[in-house]
Structures are given as structure tokens and as C-alpha cells.
Amino acid sequence: MVGHSPHRSTLVKSGLAATVLALSAALMTAAPAQAATGSITGLDGKCLDVAGADSANGTPVQIYDCNGTNAQQWTVGSDGTIRALGKCLDIVDRSTADGAKVQLWDCTGGANQKWVVTAAHDIVNPAADKCLDVTDRNSANGTRVQIWTCTGGSNQKWNAPATGGGSTPAPSGFVVSEAQFNQMFPNRNPFYTYQGLVQALSAFPGFANTGDDTTKKQEAAAFLANVNHETGGLQYVVELNTANYPTYCDWGQSYGCPAGQAAYYGRGPIQLSWNYNYKAAGDAIGVDLLNNPWLVENDPAIAWKTGLWFWNTQSGAGTMTPHNAMVNHVGFGETIRSINGSLECNGRNQAQVQSRVDAYQRFTSILGVSPGGNLYC
């Protein structure tokens, strides 16, 4: 039955915890096997630029009118580095905080110098799980570049030289192909599009993109298996029990329920509910869901982002996020605990747990990987 689950009413209201992601082994090689060199363009067509064409350690990185100089020639390597003037694109003081500035520095192999250029045109530092960002969306020459939580905004979109010897990248870059997605959800509601899911990935670039290929596929299968259970195989977009709708407004919140007493019912792949969860999820993905919760049932990408928001940032009834449970090999059972452990785990509802495990084993089989251990909670 799709409806209220404890993880949606027990959100820690003190804010979102930062998720620190492990770097993939592919980013830890000593030198690029393949590289591509050229300009990196971003907001309003401006180029990523080394201030004053100065190669000294600590030189600020900014945006500037494209001029074809060496200060704007960047080499994107398959080792995860992005280099100009013989130095690496580097996050100041190895910070993982929003607003940490980016500079030029001697290449050290540190996590603060590793980047992933995604198919969605984000440039992501996996250690911080943050995107390369133009400060304050200001396209003026000389505006500093920083890292910031990925929002999908135009100030975080970049066109960078592609590595790979000129080969064409996969259309999505996601470890689950559209054919496999269709095999997993043969009877899904047309609202839940594969394209919407792929579009949503840019908001949480560490998802199914951390660790080796097996770990990436196991995480994707784990997320989709839990989503399968929450939505009856992606058949339900909104909560079925309309009698519950007026119960999801916590008037104790200072912002109240501006969309109405009955506006915060379960929607989307995790059946997001409660006004404070809509606010927190909206704040995280850069969309005002508190005032317009209907976006979750009208925009497939936003719906998928709310599911990924919980998966990557919330511990629910457990002790860690589902993302961390999978990338740290704690096991699928721990994701069940986070999502609905207070009702299902420790023998409370074995049938529901088994339903999730069955889906996970089926999905890992489709992806051609082992499900790993610790499947139950």
C-alpha cells in the first residue's frame, strides 16, 4: 500500500547533513591516460580563466570573456584533474563547504583536485559532492568560481573538452540503460520517465557514480528496488488514501503550510509527504516545493530528485543515508532500515522486507552484478 511511512515524518529538522563521498578508483591513477584540451565555457558563454594568466600557487580562478589565451586552455584528464598553465584546478584549503573558492595549485593528487565532468554538463568534485559554480550567478568578468551544492542552475553548467579519444559518451552516463529500466518497470505509469530520472542525476552526482562498477550498479538497483516497493512498481504518482491528505501539515513550523492544509500528501518515487520535508527537499534541489508541492506530481525530473534527495541526504529511521549504506558496503538491508525500518525491520514486517529484497535481487540480476551481503534488516 502506498502512503505514509515513518521516514517522511521523522526527518531531522536541523538541516541537511553534508554527504562526503568516496572517490572512485578510476580517479586515483597517477597520470591521465587520455586527455583533451580546450576552453571551458559556462555562464553567458564566459570562459573559465586563470586570473592574470598567473601560474603561481593560489591564483584565483574566475570567469572572463573568452580570448583564446593559455589562461583559458584547460586539459581535462582521465585521472580526474583539470589543468591550466601546468597547475591543477584546486579547492582552497581542501574545503568541502558551500562557497569554498577554487584556485590554481601544484598538482598533488589530492581529493580537492579531482573532478568529474558529467553528461549533464556539471563539473563535480566527488569528495565534496559539490558542483563547480559561478558565485552569485554573476557573469561579470572576474567573478570567482567556487564549489556549491549542485542545483542544476545555469551557473553550474559547463562545456568542457571531452576525454576518451573522440569516442561518443553514452547518452545518459547512468549505469542503468533505458532498456534495463523498462525491463525493471514494465507496467510503470508513463509519468515516471527514464529521461526524467537521468535529468535528475545532476542534482546528486555521487549517486550510482561512486566506487567501482559493481558498487555503482548495486546502488542503482537498491534505490530502484525501494522505489519499486514504495510505488507499486512505479504505478502510483500520488498517495492513494486521500483521507490522509490533511494530516501532513505541521503547523509548528514557522513557515506553516502556505499551499494549504491538505497539500503535502505523498507524491513521487518515495511518496514525499509533510510540509517540512517538502521545504527541505525543495531547498536542496533549488525548487520552491513548500509553495508549489504539485511540481512533484507534474514534473518527472523534480519527482525523481525528491527520491534522490532522501536517498543521498537522509538517514530516516536508520543511522546512515541509503547512499552511504551502499557505497560503504553495509548492505541493502540498511537501506530498508533508513527508509521504513521502524515499521519493517527487526521482524516487524518480514513480508514487506522480503518484497524489497526480491526486487533488489531481480534488479541486480538485470544489471549483471551480485547483490552482495546483508540483504535483510
Estimate to the nearest angstrom the gap between the alpha carbon of 153 and the chain centroid: 14
SS3 197: helix
350 with 234, same domain? yes
CATH of the domain at 360: 1.10.530.10
180 with 304, same domain? yes
273 Cβ contact partners less than 8 Å away, ≥ 6 residues apart? 4, 8, 9, 239, 248, 264, 265, 266, 267
Give catalytic status of residue 230 as yes or no. yes
188 with 332, same domain? yes
Give domain status of residue 349, yes or no. Answer: yes
Please give the tally of structural domains in the chain: 2
Encode the chain (377 residues) as per-residue pLDDT tens digits: 333 333 333 333 223 323 323 333 333 333 333 577 778 988 877 889 999 999 999 999 999 988 778 888 898 887 789 999 999 999 999 999 999 999 999 999 899 999 988 766 889 888 888 899 999 999 899 999 999 988 888 899 888 876 443 333 344 689 999 989 999 999 999 999 999 999 999 899 999 999 999 999 999 999 999 999 999 999 999 999 999 999 999 999 999 999 999 999 999 999 999 999 999 999 999 999 999 999 999 999 999 999 999 999 999 889 999 999 999 999 999 999 999 889 999 999 999 999 999 999 999 999 999 999 999 99
365 Cβ contact partners less than 8 Å away, ≥ 6 residues apart? none
Count of alpha carbons within 13 angstroms of residue 233, beta-carbon side: 11
- The three cell numbers of residue 376 are 535483510
CATH of the domain at 53: 2.80.10.50
Catalytic residue among 219, 230, 334, 344: 230
Give domain status of residue 161, yes or no. Answer: no
Domain that holds residue 228: 6-18+173-367
Give domain status of residue 372, yes or no. Answer: no
77 with 103, same domain? yes
Give domain status of residue 168, yes or no. Answer: no
Give domain status of residue 24, yes or no. Answer: no
Give domain status of residue 271, yes or no. Answer: yes
Last residue within a domain, chosen from 156, 185, 205: 156
Give domain status of residue 149, yes or no. Answer: yes
Q: What is the pTM of this model?
A: 0.58
Give domain status of residue 307, yes or no. Answer: yes
Which H or E run contains 351?
Answer: helix 350-367
216 with 359, same domain? yes
